[in-house]
A = this chain, B = another copy of it.
Amino acid sequence: MSAAPPAISTPDPIGPGHRVTLGETLPLHLDCGLDLGPYQVAYCTYGRLNADKSNAILVCHALTGDQHAASTHPVTGKPGWWGTMIGPGKVIDTDRFFIVCANVLGGCMGSTGPKEINPATGQPYGLNFPVITIRDMVNAQAMLLDHLGIRELFCVIGGSMGGMQVLQWAASYPERVFAAVPIASAARHSAQNIAFHEVGRQAIYSDPDWREGGYLAHGVIPKNGLAVARMAAHITYLSEAALHRKFGRNLQNRERITYGFEADFQVESYLRHQGSTFVERFDANSYLYITRAMDYFDLAAQSGGNLANVFKGSKTRFCVVSFTSDWLFPTPENKEIVRALNAAAANVSFVEIETDKGHDAFLLDEPEMFSTLKGFIDGCAEVRGLNGNSSNGARS
């Protein structure tokens, strides 16, 4: 049986990053019960690993993010999604730390996911890809770090679904995580968030070009469905105040309403743009799988329903961050994490940042977040003995 090349050509998703094949001898045992192997993980690194490999920071990306956190995106040509946070002298200082960011399992930027070729069939996995969980993603990252020879992470950090991975890291590998920073996250996905994800998935299922998940073999992509999913989700990433401030009821390149269904309002034009650009860089089946992984996330359920038990005995230093206008992962859900950590006698600080930018604030220029995280990371680095030039060897 010869492997048919995917009919949709996409730019190289790896760019200046790397890709490694893992699980060849020992497969990844997934939560669903299946074994996955071999599989691939695509990742980027920034900065240099020091001699004793103690300065590594794992950055975990959100639902539609990827490994290109601080370098130009090879598909869109845009700057990395966390370029504000990662760089020389920045909060996540590439002069001092070695940063690893990996495309999640199930993703579409080079890590094994529904878009990639199933070695067993020579065809894209499509819906034959197993349903994965946040813990599966984290276990795959752990195998990547094993491959890189990094036993302990100085810090694991991420926002939204990235924060879920941070919590799972601290729960699954407490001895490997010195500091953990879950931002705008939750220990379990709420009913409302599952509902929004289900709407997005239904939009994809409804697109005839989805072809029951087999679109790649048919040379089509369900771009309309994926765009609708993105538009619905995008509203939840912002706040009403931010939408009002940015767009209000301003009209798009016209002086009056047209009494029609064109994008009279700027906010409509903005949303349409969000939808149409998203489909250029993201795979619809990946969207299904990753939203499902988030829906399934319920950390307490891994420990008999008691979240504090998950963190019992943890020596990890936590900094939990939330945003006042985030209604997707609102402050009360972040406080639940803090309460559980306190109940587990863990070392935890918590900061709620005042902003009107909504959930996406973690991706934006948010000075109070920068100063909060700089203080926490620098403090942890001092305790970890990472502040001297001699110990990190990363200065050029």
Structural contact, A268 and B194, CB atoms closer than 8 A: yes
Query: Closest residue to A32 on the B side, CB-wise?
Result: B259
A206 → chain B closest CB, angstroms: 4
Expressed in whole angstroms, the Cα–Cα distance for A192 and B202 within the complex equals 21
Structural contact, B203 and A228, CB atoms closer than 8 A: yes
User: Which residues of A170-225 have CB atoms within 8 Å of chain B's CB atoms?
Assistant: 188-192, 194-196, 198-199, 201-203, 206-208, 224-225
User: Which residues of A220-271 have CB atoms within 8 Å of chain B's CB atoms?
Assistant: 224-225, 227-228, 231-232, 235, 238, 240, 243-244, 246-249, 257, 259-261, 263-265, 267-268, 271
Instruction: Tell which of A90-98, A292-300, A345-353 binds the partner.
Output: A292-300
User: Which residues of A255-290 have CB atoms within 8 Å of chain B's CB atoms?
Assistant: 257, 259-261, 263-265, 267-268, 271-272, 275, 288
Q: Which residues of B contact A244 (CB under 8 A)?
A: 190-192
| Chain A interfacial residues counted at CB < 8 A | 56
Choice from B195, B196, B267 contacting A198 with Cβ under 8 Å: B267
Main secondary structure of the interface of A (DSSP, over half): helix
Count copies of this chain in the complex.
2
Is A131's beta carbon under 8 Å from chain B?
A: yes
Is A35's beta carbon under 8 Å from chain B?
A: no
Choice from B190, B224, B235 contacting A206 with Cβ under 8 Å: B224
Given contacts A192-B243, A194-B268, A195-B235, contact A259 B130 (CB under 8 A): yes
Structural contact, B192 and A206, CB atoms closer than 8 A: no
Expressed in whole angstroms, the Cα–Cα distance for A327 and B195 within the complex equals 16
Is A365's beta carbon under 8 Å from chain B?
A: no
Q: Which residues of B contact A238 (CB under 8 A)?
A: 192
Is A354's beta carbon under 8 Å from chain B?
A: no
Q: Which residues of B contact A32 (CB under 8 A)?
A: 259
Interface string of A26-40 (1 = CB under 8 A from B): 000001110000000
Expressed in whole angstroms, the Cα–Cα distance for A275 and B130 within the complex equals 28
Structural contact, B130 and A271, CB atoms closer than 8 A: no
Structural contact, B248 and A191, CB atoms closer than 8 A: yes
Structural contact, B195 and A268, CB atoms closer than 8 A: yes
Choice from B235, B259, B263 contacting A31 with Cβ under 8 Å: B259
Structural contact, A195 and B267, CB atoms closer than 8 A: yes
Choice from B192, B257, B288, B298 contacting A296 with Cβ under 8 Å: B257
Closest 5 CB pairs of A and B: A206-B224, A32-B259, A191-B243, A131-B259, A192-B240
The 14 sampled A-B contact pairs (Cβ below 8 Å) are: A32-B259, A33-B259, A131-B261, A191-B248, A195-B271, A196-B232, A196-B235, A198-B265, A199-B228, A201-B261, A202-B231, A206-B207, A249-B298, A265-B295
Residues of A at the B interface (CB closer than 8 Å) are 31-33, 127, 130-131, 188-192, 194-196, 198-199, 201-203, 206-208, 224-225, 227-228, 231-232, 235, 238, 240, 243-244, 246-249, 257, 259-261, 263-265, 267-268, 271-272, 275, 288, 292, 295-296, 298, 327, 330
Question: With contacts A198-B271, A202-B271 known, what are 17 further pairs, Cβ within 8 A?
Answer: A131-B259, A190-B244, A191-B243, A191-B249, A192-B235, A192-B240, A192-B244, A195-B271, A196-B235, A198-B231, A198-B265, A199-B232, A202-B228, A202-B231, A206-B224, A249-B298, A261-B288
